[in-house]
Amino acid sequence: MRSAVVDVRGLRVDLDDRPVLHGVDLQVVEGEVVTLLGANGSGKSTLVRTVVGLVPSVAGEVRLFGTPLRSFHDWWRVGYVPQRTTAAGGVPATVREVVAAGRLARRKLFRPARKADRAAVDHAIELVGLSDQANRSVANLSGGQQQRVLIARAAASEPDLMVLDEPNAGVDKRSQEAFARALRTFVASGRTVLLVLHEMGPLAPLVDRGVVLDGGHVVHDGPLPTPSMTLTGPPDHHDDHREDYGAGLFG
């Protein structure tokens, strides 16, 4: 039997003293691609944020690779791409610099980058199809390309588990396709993926199972509805939309 990479049991999370997750169970085994679906506000982001240790729980247990979260230290094994962030943040970092930051979890303190680190960074950039942009400033990329930089940053530590929160929301089609290719490569090497999706889109053929949240409860866990079906409302944020669909951004 394949081992559980993510094992969530009876998870209860409160935010601002209000219950947001009411006893959630979620298991993802090695090599599986599981998607979390549900309307805005159903608790998807809270669940993945709790899984990666960013939000404390009130009750229940989270295990990563069989280890309870409180004693888990191998964070390089987990690549996390949060919902709606910009890699730019006003700092004129290049694609390569941002992706290299994702390699830090692998490095010994204060040691300079080794050849293997540089190779892993190059590989992660190639994975998301941005090799020809590697020395460009992230600030000058489209929203979709910036999202791919964040995915490459998460991939640079060569994690065994990738957790992605709406990686395709407000992202142009070309970036969505590049992401689907990257995910296929990642999964082909036997690694595990938990991703929040607004709609299945080009990722549908890659997904093994869907878990649907409604009001902080799991209401479905199993094979997916038809790929074209959208189970969620509109994505939370459209800020990047105009930029993504703007003319000439991809040269």
Ligand X SMILES: Nc1ncnc2c1ncn2[C@@H]1O[C@H](COP(=O)(O)OP(=O)(O)O)[C@@H](O)[C@H]1O
Contacts to ligand X by CB under 6 A: 15-16, 20, 38, 40-46
In the complex, the smallest distance separating the C-beta of residue 193 from ligand X, rounded to whole angstroms, is: 17
Among ligand X, Mg ion, none, partner that 16 touches (CB below 5 to 8 angstroms by kind): ligand X
8 Å CB contact between 39 and 30: no
In the complex, the smallest distance separating the C-beta of residue 236 from Mg ion, rounded to whole angstroms, is: 6
Among ligand X, Mg ion, none, partner that 131 touches (CB below 5 to 8 angstroms by kind): none
Describe the crossing of helices 173-188 and 143-155 by its angle, rounded to 10 degrees: 10
Among Mg ion, ligand X, none, partner that 41 touches (CB below 5 to 8 angstroms by kind): ligand X
Residues 183, 165: Cα–Cα separation, whole Å = 14
Closest C-alpha to 2, from 36, 37, 23, 29 = 29
Among ligand X, Mg ion, none, partner that 38 touches (CB below 5 to 8 angstroms by kind): ligand X
Nearer CB in complex with ligand X: 40/67? 40
∠ Cα 227 239 241 (to 5°):
55
The runs of H, that is alpha helices, within the chain are 44-51, 95-101, 115-127, 143-155, 173-188, 241-244
Which residue is closest to Mg ion by CB?
45
Nearer CB in complex with ligand X: 20/121? 20
Nearer CB in complex with ligand X: 38/210? 38
The runs of H, that is alpha helices, within 58-172 are 95-101, 115-127, 143-155
Nearer CB in complex with ligand X: 28/124? 28
Residues 27, 16: Cα–Cα separation, whole Å = 27
In the complex, the smallest distance separating the C-beta of residue 80 from Mg ion, rounded to whole angstroms, is: 13
Q: Which of residues 62-121 bind Mg ion (CB under 5 A)?
A: 83
∠ Cα 179 112 105 (to 5°):
45
Is residue 50 a contact point for Mg ion (CB under 5 A)?
no
Is residue 42 a contact point for Mg ion (CB under 5 A)?
no
Nearer CB in complex with ligand X: 191/198? 198
In the complex, the smallest distance separating the C-beta of residue 46 from ligand X, rounded to whole angstroms, is: 3
Give Cβ neighbours of residue 54 (< 8 Å, ≥ 6 apart).
none
Q: Which residues lie near Mg ion (CB under 5 A)?
A: 44-45, 83
